[in-house]
Structure 1
Amino acid sequence: MLRHGKVGAAVQNNPNTTLVTQTAPIATVTHGGRAKCLQRLVRLDLPVPATVALSFDAVHAIASGHLPDIDAIMRQFPQDALLCVRPSSEDPDWGGPSAILNIGMNDARYEVLCATLGTDAASVLFTRFVQSYAIHVDRLDPDMFDHITGEGAQALADVLRAYEDETETPFPNTRAEQLAGVLKSMARAWEGTSARLLRQAKGAPVDAGLGLVVQQMAFGVGEGECGSGVLQLVSSKTGKPQITGRYLRQSQGRDALHADAASLYITRDNRGPSLQDEVPDCFDQLVTHAQLMRTRLREEMQVEFTIENGQLRILDGVRLARSSRATVRIAVQLARDGIIPRQEALMRVEPNTLNELLHRQVDRHAKRDILGSGIAASPGAATGRIVFSATDAQASASRGEDCILVRRETSPEDIRGMHAAKAVITERGGITSHAAVIGRGIGLPCVVGVSNIRFQTRKQQLLTEDGRVIKAGEVVTVDGTNGTILLGAPAMQEAALDDAFQDLMDWADAERDIDIRANADTPADAQTARNFAAQGIGLCRTEHMFFEAGRLTVMREMIFAETSDDRRAVLERLLPMQRADFIQLFAIMQGQPVCIRLFDPPLHEFLPTDRNGQRELADALDLPLSDVTRRIEAMMEYNPMLGLRGVRLGVTVPEIYEMQARAIFEATVEASRDGDPVVPEIMIPLVSAKREVELVRTRIDAIAAAVATEKGAQFTYNLGVMVETPRAALRAGDIAQHCSFLSFGTNDLTQMTYGLSRDDAGRFMSDYVRQEVFAEDPFHSLDIDGVGELLKLGSERGRAARPDITLSICGEHGGNPESIAFCRTAGFDYVSCSPFRVPVARLAAAQLAIGHKIG
């Protein structure tokens, strides 16, 4: 593969094995990121040691037994030069075999280095190479060197003897033989089954290639000022300007980063000596080189360097590892400095990484004692003492104690306890279960479907797989981002909505071409949505308002009312409460659209299921306990999600919708007096036939006319439908004739399309995904082929019947980048998601718009 000739020219134009020069045929997709970066450093005239790059094809050939011309490679370096070989994959996150240093060390070279560096230093270099070669090339057990202690000539002799005893052959004594062995071992390691599976788990394609770079060693050991280290210009944790790194005298590679290394600080530091103090000329050169790399490579880099007898060498430049917080600030600052355009800064931030900025997180360096794991249902992390009931959670909050609410599964009755808790853990449920949806809505960390912990709620304790018993009152931490429950209180990293985040969001809003609203059920939710610059409320679930203290008993009294007049009388007491809620929502949103979903859940959800609760209800209503229990039993349904709920309640128990409509219109009049005119959007849930819409619309129109007459005020409103049944999607053309908008509720639509319970699917969904029945959990990622087909049919038929109709989705899929992409393509007007998902959706929408422009 290599041609013979003078130094440099022999491999200059060889596409598979080439000397790294400014014009060499090297690309990331053929030689890997490290090789391409080294070429860029050469183009910047930085002091990079001579390097030969081997392409993916060359390495694949080596793994198949076809070596390149080793002699031609070695002719690119001085005869006495030691070499190192490093991996060069297309993406550094895919990993690769360990680098091998000091290739070429043998008896003759050792004698020369003893004379120039000293016996101890030369012995350390040779010893390190023998051990590395034995472990990584010959695949020998590292334990074979455990009995060898100390350093120097004796240690070297012991290492060589151990090698010969194990292999029954002398250690390879020529540079060519050593280099060939290293290349073969690294190529075969990359193509091995374990390595392939490991990188595929990191997102690498099956046929991902590996390049290798053979580089002349720049010694970090010697008689003069010698050492090695790394430097970067910003903090990996925050992204703020901060020259950091380490420098270790008489060292090689990344020795300076070892925890027990006696490294120097990079910049002047009161805690000890620094490179800036000891070698100021090299420090200044290094910073200048790093700044040039930042500008010309358009990235924050970590610079790996060596100082050899006072001379600086740049060995490599690696894209700086960074936290999510630093990712945002680095991208934004590069754009502020004019190094990259704003659009590129937006494209460099993965939308879901914003979750780590919006919530507290467990510090990634913190020690974790994992008790169990489940579905990461709502991101963020919180620490507190575990409690097993909503009542206990409220009591803890009243004492100022942080608590974690533990339930088998939550129900609407737990709402107040969830608001009081710092996080929630449930044994059952999936990504769209009650706990998950409410958790995401209020920014509460939540892990659901925790199947590897036994919930012994009567004993108020948890039993882990390894036999530990965690009792009520013990401190645990919920990591809702990763889906784990930890014992104790690990170090936390606080949320960070700083100036860089705000700039990124402003730039995103300037690019995106689809609106982003928020699902908000309370004034607190609405304020969060407003803080995150949502363009209105796309779904307000009014039933959550009825679970607050002082309202639940009134609601239960209404349920037990025998006649329509009795129900209206009780609802008159709820009317001012609902009206006040809506006035607050309208005031917070300041003229932006607010879409209010009329009452949806079955009435039995408001009734107590335990004996104590039923006894309290009987006392409150002054009824015999037997009457209460009999009425509750009579209201129970075999399949309540498909029973008397949504519009079916609105048709059969119209008094509820009439009260809600009046509250909405009276709040509209009140809020419009002091602010921008309010145009409420009223949404009818669970529709499956146009006649349902006609009946509800007739009553709502009548209420609107009555309020306008009573208040002497004119107002407008829009009425629409929540499309969450397959029939509503299929008959959208009929339904749209009576609507101003169609909002697709993908939670229930997915449930009904699949015939899956969104609360129970978590028990087996991981098995289904693992066995490739489903590509992903359809409640977590929108099913484009099935549910998406219904969305497409519904939107096309709705718009054909009424071209000006507004289309949106308001299910939990609304914040997913994949769902937003689908909605843009289908011509939807907006998506609505949980308040804390709004920034994620804004960024995702901007990236889609930018991607569309650039093709």
Structure 2
Amino acid sequence: MADQVFTFDVPTEIDKTVLGGKGCSLMQMSNIGLDVPPFFVIPCQTCVHYMENQSWPADYEAKIWAALKKIEDATGRKFGDSAKPLLLSVRSGARVSMPGMMDTVLNLGLNDESVEGLAKDSGNERFAWDAYRRFIQMYGDVVLGVPHKNFEHILEGLKKKYSAAQDTDLSAEHLKECVAEYRAMVKKTINEEFPKDPKDQLIRAINAVFDSWTNERAVYYRNMHSIDHRWGTAVNVQSMVFGNLGQTSGTGVGFTRDPATGEKMIYGEFLPNAQGEDVVAGIRTPIKISDMESVGGVWPGVYKQLCDNYDKLEAFYKDMVDLEFTVQDGKLYMLQARVGKRTAAAMVRIAAEMVKEGMITEKEALLRQEPNKIGELLHKTFDPKAVRNVVATGLPASPGAGVGRVEFTAADAEARFNAGEPAILVRAETSPEDIVGMTMSQGILTARGGCSSHAAVVARGMGKCCVAGCSAVEVDEEAEQMKINGKVFKRGDWLSLDGSTGEVIEGQLATIAPVFSENFNLILQWADKYRQLDIRTNADTPADAKQAVAFGAQGIGLTRTEHMFFEHDRIYSMREMIVSETAEQRKAALAKLLPFQRDDFIGMFKALEGRPANIRLLDPPLHEFVSQEMDFAPLIKATGKSEEELRAFVDSLAEANPMLGFRGCRLGMVYPEISRMQARAIMEAAAEVQATGLEVHPEIMIPVLNHVNEMEAMRKLVADECEKVLAEKNIKVDYHIGTMIELPRACITADKIAEHAEYFSFGTNDLTQTTTGISRDDYNKFMPVYLDKSVYPFDFFQRIDTEGVGELMKMAVQKGRTTRPGMKIGICGEQTGQESVFFCQQIGLTYISCSPFRVPGARVSAAQAALLYPREQ
């Protein structure tokens, strides 16, 4: 595909891997009869060729000129002509949407001769020179590398000089002066004249779009969304249509439903006498599309045609569509249509309502959910009883509650985040360069722009609260402050944003837990109807267990008992046990810990209300509970040892590689009293709760073993203690003893281990470490480079490495069930994203386990997995 060019007049298979999303959109809109300006598409594969060779395929330039000739013939214009010039837009278009991350050039093809021709042909001199200054500004920034602010400084100076409130207030003569100053500044900045040859302009613009695939913000965005760096971007070259020809022209961005709430409505914004970047950049505050009818002139007719196009596009895509359009002298042209980005609330509502409308099925609705976004619905909102000191109201661009300290630059917001504090990023308007700071902020506030601005689109995609177009905000970045209706807010002041109402609120507003909507409950009901995997939670406290059950968890997949020892009233007894020299001393210290553990388990069993609980015995090495910086006084008092003796003992616990050292079942093998205490605490708690009438199903998990002899010995030790307790209490409890499979040797010998283990639970974090030889505590020193260079396709600690770790998991499942048919096997690592859940479904696991707030998303992922990879029950 790398040596091909796809033109608007030749039927082409719609394939996003070739044409990219924007190219497919242009082809599809043409196919269903919408007015689309003529175009051609340079495929993604040509970008890949360019990146690998820093050149185009052989004879490719000739194919570009042949494709351009077709646009000239269709429009009756000629590229670079001084009488009827053809102007082009050059846009990126990856196979998945990356809003604002790559570059675009508009009005390409202008020079000193063709601008005069454009003025005569259009009968609008001001329009021609406005297009020229826009072209120089955009081309200079994107292709020549001249800082955008250099152009803005000149433009703002001219507006001030001629008392122009808006760009549109500048006359043709003013714009000629602007063009002259732009060109002089370009030459001074890069020591090169602004290029006049249109063909040279086009070649360099295409290369610049290719190059933008690897710019810093695009790489960051792909890493954030797990997009493959090897895909490349398509380039779309299209005949320009002009929204800045006057008051019967304009440009807009729309959606077939509200992307923030999901409500079915005519949603979007347009600007008369403007080009597309004016809407996205938020340079002027736009008008709602639904208000077009009241404007008069050509706009009521355009509005009716837009409504027709909305219906056609939604019927075609069977989903909410995001579209861009331009009106030139009253004629409507469609420039893009794609399935639109939306908030989690909108995602749920649109899918549920489209099922009710008969547009899609329940299964299709489930497959459209993004499980990672569902977490947005589970976090807090503002307490309706809290007193709101509303200082301004902007546009509700992305819903949610954002509370943080004011920061005026992306770098400062990032620094605030890294310091462990929440930030609210305040900007006159955001740009793609702000992506990192936006990611790390609790909310975003802009003075300019609408609900289709860069800030709004990106915030919705990330699930961030955003209030846009708040005209009362006056940002003074240099002074690190802003004024809102005369009130000064400095950097570091607290601010709250309500992205659902657009309210800007002084101070820290109290928040409350969310409430599931009827549509969200419906989606979850459908998920439970189709999924085959059980969903459990990782929970270390009764509160965690209660929250997870409320979110639909079917039990606990992992309780890390070591987390119960870190609280202030327990850590001293734990340390006393660690420094003990004899078994009797250890037992005495453990006797102090047993009531704490038992009480925790009682609370968890009650919260589970009969659901199973998989409880891991002590896993980490003992040195994690002590340090040279701790308070030694309680230990001195408890043991009678000197501080010097205790410090020396702490030093002796250090290990060269603690991940592979004295931990897990090895602790129980050497110090069996530790495991006996934990088994007793679990069983005493189970007996007490069961006596109240609640069912209890404890599962006791042995960690970090790799040999059948370890499993056999630890099972006997734990079972003996459990049976002793049950005999003392004269009660029977349904309990099981299994193991965590987290070492390669355990996978390889799983058939032998299964002789003594009643169930397996994969610990994929440690299994990934021991399989790949990568420490999860240190890998950030090189992993970003590996991901940027596509050495690894993704972060192995975020998603299961199915080719390596996954093969060992498959082996363990097969071997374990050979010995113990129907054996229950789960996973309790944090790698429970969508792709990992699909893999768990394919290899036949019984359940997946994740943190409480991931449970609803995991329910949906499991349903998607069952629909895509069904298995016999």
TM over 0.5: yes
| Structure 2 residue 224 is the aligned partner of structure 1 residue 217 | no
Offset of residue 595 of structure 1:
0.8
Give aligned pairs, total.
Answer: 722
| 8 Å contact kept, 2:298–2:330 | no
Q: Structure 2 CA distance, aligned partners of 1:207 and 1:575?
A: 56
Give 1:126's aligned residue. Answer: 128
| Structure 2 residue 370 is the aligned partner of structure 1 residue 370 | no
Counterpart pick for 1:230 among 246, 249, 253:
253
| 8 Å contact kept, 1:89–1:96 | no
Counterpart pick for 1:290 among 306, 310, 316:
310
2:717 alignment partner, SS class: helix
Q: Output the amino acid matched with 1:51.
A: P
Q: Output the amino acid matched with 2:119.
A: Y
Give 1:85's aligned residue. Answer: 88
Give 2:62's aligned residue. Answer: 65
- CA, structure 1 residues 346+367, in 2 after alignment: closer, same or farther (shift >3 Å)? farther
Offset of residue 77 of structure 1:
3.5
Q: Output the amino acid matched with 1:259.
A: G
Query: Residues 423-434 of structure 1: matches in 2 within 5 Å?
Result: none
Q: Structure 1 CA distance, aligned partners of 2:327 and 2:695?
A: 70
| Structure 2 residue 837 is the aligned partner of structure 1 residue 820 | yes
Q: Structure 2 CA distance, aligned partners of 1:518 and 1:783?
A: 22
Give 1:448's aligned residue. Answer: none
Return 5+ residue gaps in structure 1 as ranges.
1-13, 115-121, 385-421, 424-473, 478-487
| 8 Å contact kept, 1:747–1:779 | yes
Give 1:792's aligned residue. Answer: 810
Give 1:841's aligned residue. Answer: 858
2:105 alignment partner, SS class: coil
- CA, structure 1 residues 256+710, in 2 after alignment: closer, same or farther (shift >3 Å)? closer
Query: Residues 189-204 of structure 1: matches in 2 within 5 Å?
Result: 189-190=208-209, 192-193=210-211, 195=213, 202=222, 203=227
2:619 alignment partner, SS class: coil
* Cα deviation code 1:580-615 (max 9, x no counterpart): 2212211211222111112233444444533x6112
Q: Structure 2 CA distance, aligned partners of 1:772 and 1:140?
A: 28
Range 614-623 or range 200-209, more displaced: 200-209
Q: Output the amino acid matched with 1:343.
A: K
| 8 Å contact kept, 1:234–1:300 | yes
Q: Output the amino acid matched with 1:230.
A: V
Q: Structure 1 CA distance, aligned partners of 2:711 and 2:339?
A: 57
Give 1:118's aligned residue. Answer: none
Q: Structure 2 CA distance, aligned partners of 1:323 and 1:774?
A: 30
Q: Output the amino acid matched with 2:62.
A: G
Q: Output the amino acid matched with 1:320.
A: G
Give 1:339's aligned residue. Answer: 359
1:317 alignment partner, SS class: strand
Q: Structure 2 CA distance, aligned partners of 1:635 and 1:318?
A: 59
Counterpart pick for 1:110 among 110, 113, 119:
119
Return 5+ residue gaps in structure 2 as ranges.
47-55, 78-82, 163-169, 381-400, 425-440, 443-491, 496-505
| 8 Å contact kept, 2:84–2:118 | no
Q: Output the amino acid matched with 1:125.
A: F
2:284 alignment partner, SS class: coil
Query: Residues 367-406 of structure 1: matches in 2 within 5 Å?
Result: 367-370=408-411, 382=422
Q: Output the amino acid matched with 1:17.
A: T
Offset of residue 760 of structure 1:
3.8
Offset of residue 567 of structure 1:
4.4
Give 2:371's aligned residue. Answer: 351
1:701 alignment partner, SS class: helix
Counterpart pick for 2:14 among 27, 48, 73:
27
| Structure 2 residue 268 is the aligned partner of structure 1 residue 245 | yes
* Cα deviation code 1:55-111 (max 9, x no counterpart): 649998985234117665434346798755344735363645423279896656634
- CA, structure 1 residues 604+238, in 2 after alignment: closer, same or farther (shift >3 Å)? same
| 8 Å contact kept, 1:232–1:302 | yes
Offset of residue 628 of structure 1:
4.3
Q: Structure 2 CA distance, aligned partners of 1:660 and 1:68?
A: 77
Q: Output the amino acid matched with 1:705.
A: E
Larger radius of gyration: 1
Q: Structure 2 CA distance, aligned partners of 1:160 and 1:568?
A: 85
| Structure 2 residue 561 is the aligned partner of structure 1 residue 539 | no
Counterpart pick for 1:740 among 738, 753, 758:
758
TM-score, structure 1 as length reference: 0.70
Give 2:25's aligned residue. Answer: 37
- CA, structure 1 residues 368+350, in 2 after alignment: closer, same or farther (shift >3 Å)? farther
Give 1:712's aligned residue. Answer: 730
* Cα deviation code 1:640-685 (max 9, x no counterpart): 4444433233233322322322222222233224445322111112
- CA, structure 1 residues 185+761, in 2 after alignment: closer, same or farther (shift >3 Å)? closer
Q: Output the amino acid matched with 1:64.
A: E
Q: Structure 2 CA distance, aligned partners of 1:544 and 1:244?
A: 49
Q: Structure 2 CA distance, aligned partners of 1:367 and 1:263?
A: 24
- CA, structure 1 residues 368+538, in 2 after alignment: closer, same or farther (shift >3 Å)? farther
1:595 alignment partner, SS class: strand
| 8 Å contact kept, 1:49–1:216 | no
| 8 Å contact kept, 2:737–2:757 | yes
Q: Structure 2 CA distance, aligned partners of 1:543 and 1:734?
A: 28
Give 2:595's aligned residue. Answer: 576
| 8 Å contact kept, 1:363–1:492 | no
Offset of residue 359 of structure 1:
5.0
| 8 Å contact kept, 1:583–1:668 | yes
1:68 alignment partner, SS class: helix
Q: Structure 2 CA distance, aligned partners of 1:281 and 1:630?
A: 86
Q: Structure 2 CA distance, aligned partners of 1:697 and 1:70?
A: 75
| 8 Å contact kept, 2:105–2:135 | no
Query: Residues 257-336 of structure 1: matches in 2 within 5 Å?
Result: 259-261=282-284, 263-267=286-290, 275=295, 279-280=299-300, 282-307=302-327, 314-323=334-343, 326-336=346-356
Offset of residue 737 of structure 1:
0.7
* Cα deviation code 1:369-396 (max 9, x no counterpart): 536979x999x98469xxxxxxxxxxxx
Query: Residues 93-108 of structure 1: matches in 2 within 5 Å?
Result: 93=97, 95=102, 97-100=104-107, 107=116
- CA, structure 1 residues 312+69, in 2 after alignment: closer, same or farther (shift >3 Å)? closer
* Cα deviation code 1:740-760 (max 9, x no counterpart): 012232333333445554434
Offset of residue 719 of structure 1:
0.7
| 8 Å contact kept, 2:403–2:494 | no
Q: Output the amino acid matched with 1:582.
A: F
TM-score, structure 2 as length reference: 0.69
Give 1:405's aligned residue. Answer: none
Range 752-761 or range 579-588, more displaced: 752-761
Q: Structure 2 CA distance, aligned partners of 1:494 and 1:616?
A: 40
* Cα deviation code 1:414-455 (max 9, x no counterpart): xxxxxxxx99xxxxxxxxxxxxxxxxxxxxxxxxxxxxxxxx
| 8 Å contact kept, 2:407–2:413 | no
| 8 Å contact kept, 1:230–1:305 | yes
Offset of residue 720 of structure 1:
0.9
Q: Structure 2 CA distance, aligned partners of 1:537 and 1:661?
A: 17
Q: Output the amino acid matched with 1:301.
A: V
Offset of residue 545 of structure 1:
1.5
1:228 alignment partner, SS class: strand
Q: Structure 1 CA distance, aligned partners of 2:736 and 2:183?
A: 86
Q: Output the amino acid matched with 2:129.
A: T
Give 1:548's aligned residue. Answer: 567
Give 1:416's aligned residue. Answer: none
| 8 Å contact kept, 1:137–1:181 | no
Counterpart pick for 2:540 among 521, 526, 539:
521
Q: Structure 2 CA distance, aligned partners of 1:841 and 1:64?
A: 49
1:609 alignment partner, SS class: coil
1:93 alignment partner, SS class: coil
| 8 Å contact kept, 1:590–1:675 | no
Range 804-813 or range 732-741, more displaced: 804-813
Give 2:500's aligned residue. Answer: none
